[in-house]
Structure 1
Amino acid sequence: MKTIEIYTTPFCGFCTAAKRLLTQKGAAFTEFDVAAKPDLRREMTDRANGGRTVPQIFIGGTHVGGCDDLYALEQSGKLDPMLAD
Structure 2
Amino acid sequence: MHPPIQIYTTRYCPYCIMAKRLLQARGLAYDEIAVDDDPATRQAMTQRAGRRTVPQIFIGETHIGGCDDLHALDASGELSRLVQAN
Alignment TM-score, normalising by the size of structure 2: 0.93
Residue 7 (structure 1) aligns with: 8
Equivalent pairs counted in the alignment come to 84
For the residue of structure 1 that corresponds to 2:6, the secondary structure is: strand
The TM-score, its normalising length taken from structure 1, stands at: 0.95
Gaps of 5+ in 2: none
Q: Aligned residues: percent identity?
A: 52
Question: How far does the alpha carbon of each residue in 1:31-77 deviate from its partner, in whole angstroms, 9 at most, with x for none?
Answer: 0110121111001000102x010000000111000000000001111
SS in structure 2 at match of 1:45: helix
TM alignment of 1:12-51, pairs within 5 A: 12-49=13-50, 51=51
Which one has a larger percent helix, Structure 1 or Structure 2? 2
Q: Any idea what the Cα deviations from partners look like across 1:11-39, whole Å, max 9, x if unmatched?
A: 11000000000011111100011012111
Look up the match of 2:54.
54
Q: Could you list the runs of 5+ residues in structure 1 that have no partner in the other structure?
A: none
